[in-house]
């Protein structure tokens, strides 16, 4: 899952980026509204963490532009303002949730997980596909009752597929959602990660749809 983090305070941005990456997200960071607007218009993010008090273009203006142009990614706004009308303005501009500074990092992660689940039409933090389970809160993956140890990239590929149950996901889509913009991307590595997952999971769970991509298929 790929997150756009928009925060102009360097220390907080670094702390949030580290926490998001430790939780298994690919993170793109920007410190101003104009860069945020451009990235949100051109890159496919699974969610956005958006500060309202930004230089060059404020967060509410960025959010309104995204929504006017039809960009529907979930947006969690951060604000130092504790007035109820500022929160209402954020929601009315198209935000899906908000946090008032200061906040606990675990709360931000929990709210992000919920936003991403809802955007995928999922209600539970425990994702299932046949005997395979992925707990988005802990990152724990099991087949039946047996834990499965995955590398960070294997986990990212599996998590993205499990958030899109039954959908065919192309290699290029997976590449765009497991790597940040500045990462050296190679869609051929997706085949490597899928091959490794098949060795660690029941192989028939991940179906190759010829010419299109991959799909998770529930098995008994």
Q: Are strands 26-30 and 2-6 parallel, antiparallel or unpaired?
A: parallel
Segment 163-185 shows an average pLDDT of 85
CA distance 48 to 43: 11
CA distance 57 to 197: 43
> Going from the N-terminus, what domains does the chain have, and what CATH number goes with each?
2-119 (3.40.50.2300), 126-216 (1.10.10.10)
pLDDT above 80 (res 187): no
pLDDT above 80 (res 124): yes
Q: Each residue of 50-73: pLDDT tens digit?
A: 999 899 999 999 999 999 999 999
* Phi and psi at residue 48, to the nearest 5°: -130, 135
CA distance 54 to 51: 7
CA distance 24 to 66: 26
Q: Each residue of 17-43: pLDDT tens digit?
A: 999 999 999 999 999 999 999 999 999
Q: Are strands 126-129 and 206-209 parallel, antiparallel or unpaired?
A: unpaired
Work out the pLDDT band at 87, boundaries 50, 70, 90: confident
Q: Each residue of 189-201: pLDDT tens digit?
A: 899 999 999 999 9
């Amino acid at each position: 899952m790929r997150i756009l983090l928009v925060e102009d305070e360097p220390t907080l941005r670094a702390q949030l980026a580290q926490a998001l990456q430790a939780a298994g997200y690919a993170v793109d960071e920007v410190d101003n509204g104009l860069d945020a607007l451009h990235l949100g218009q051109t890159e496919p993010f699974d969610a956005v963490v958006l500060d309202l008090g930004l230089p060059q273009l404020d967060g509410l203006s960025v959010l309104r532009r995204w929504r006017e142009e039809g960009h529907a990614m979930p947006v969690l706004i951060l604000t130092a303002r504790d007035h109820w009308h500022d929160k209402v303005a954020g929601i009315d501009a198209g935000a899906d949730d908000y946090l008032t500074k200061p906040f606990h990092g675990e709360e931000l992660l929990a709210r992000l997980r919920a936003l991403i689940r809802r955007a995928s039409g999922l209600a539970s933090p425990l994702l299932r596909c046949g005997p395979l389970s992925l707990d988005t809160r802990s990152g724990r993956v099991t087949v039946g009752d047996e834990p499965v140890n995955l590398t960070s990239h294997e986990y990212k590929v599996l998590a993205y597929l499990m958030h899109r149950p039954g959908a065919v996901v192309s290699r290029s889509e997976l590449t765009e959602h497991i790597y940040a913009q500045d990462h050296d991307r190679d869609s051929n590595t997706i085949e490597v990660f899928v091959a490794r997952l098949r060795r660690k999971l029941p192989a028939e769970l991940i179906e190759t749809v010829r010419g299109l991509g991959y799909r998770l298929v529930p098995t008994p």
